[in-house]
A = this chain, B = another copy of it.
Amino acid sequence: MKYKLVQDAYGKNAINLSKVTRHEAYHEFRQISVNVSLQGDFETVYTQGNNRKILPTDTQKNTVYALAKDHFVSSIEDFAIHLANHFFSNNPQVSQTTIEITEHLYSRMSFDGSEHPHTYQSKGNEKHVTTVVQDAHKTSVTSGIKGLLILKTTNSAFTDYIKDRYTTLKETTDRIFATECEATWVYNSYKLNFAELFEKVRNACLRTFAFHNSLSVQQTLYAMGEAVLEENPEIKEISLIMPNKHHIPFNLQQFGMENDNEIFIATDEPFGYITGTITREEEN
């Protein structure tokens, strides 16, 4: 054979599942989307069409629904760990399982100051996600937030950058800073209180974003990552993606009016795209 398969994986994506747990005082509603992916000794599947080592993706889907009954009882991380271990333990041909779960968030409605026992509203585009990877050696847990659309109307500057022949941007000491933040962090264990840690990380990100005097998106991104690591020893590393959703001052001067930093064109494209990964210094 002149060619070889150097990477392969297969599984079922977008297994959309909801669960109702009937507590005495209220109904808990959860909705998730699960991706299963298996890697392993599948060379002959690809090269010869021999399916004897294939656990069909349809069966993977059924398994997720069946296991959700008894094992989706707390965090998405704990359910993902259970699923990864199930597929890994029951399939000797599999060398690595990857489970990704996205949680669609809902909050109970409140009326007259008290929460309704069984009525929910979606919390919107913000999603909580986790990726659990299990192989023969370890189980790694990575969690994250997606779709966190946040902005601040001041305390954001951008000055003192390179100018060249293609520069038209004007320096500013006061601009809108808007981003749809995506954060992903790696835990140092798979036995943690993930739900609680999630809220701590999210809060550290939001608080730093709000109170930081930003000289650039990059600087604020770093400060957010640093705060998360500072407050959470359980986290080894954090990556942030912060697209710069530009709000561009509209030129009112052409109509003899002044734009005192108040009227903006809200744009989707093009957008700045700023990323960074911050990790702990290894200690010697």
Contacts and interface: CB of A to CB of B under 8 A. Distances in A.
Interface string A19-48: 111100001010100010100001001111
Chain A interface size band reads 35 or more
A16 interface: yes
A66 B261 CA distance: 13
A218 B6 contact: no
Interface in A247-265: 247, 250, 252, 254-255, 257, 259, 261-265
Contacts of A266: 16-18, 31
Interface stretch (A54-62, A77-85, A130-138, A192-200): A54-62
B52 A272 contact: no
B2 A55 contact: no
A190 interface: no
B59 A164 contact: yes
A46 B58 CA distance: 40
Given A69-B259, A176-B18, A275 B219 contact: no
A113 to B, nearest CB: 13
Given A5-B222, A20-B264, A51-B160, 19 more contacts: A4-B281, A10-B217, A12-B271, A12-B272, A13-B270, A14-B268, A18-B263, A19-B263, A20-B261, A29-B153, A53-B162, A54-B162, A56-B167, A57-B244, A59-B169, A69-B259, A111-B206, A121-B150, A124-B126
Interface of A: 1-22, 27, 29, 31, 35, 37, 42, 45-59, 61-63, 65-66, 68-69, 90-91, 106, 109, 111, 116, 118-126, 148-155, 158-162, 164-169, 176, 206-207, 209-211, 214-219, 221-222, 225-226, 229, 237, 239, 243-244, 247, 250, 252, 254-255, 257, 259, 261-281
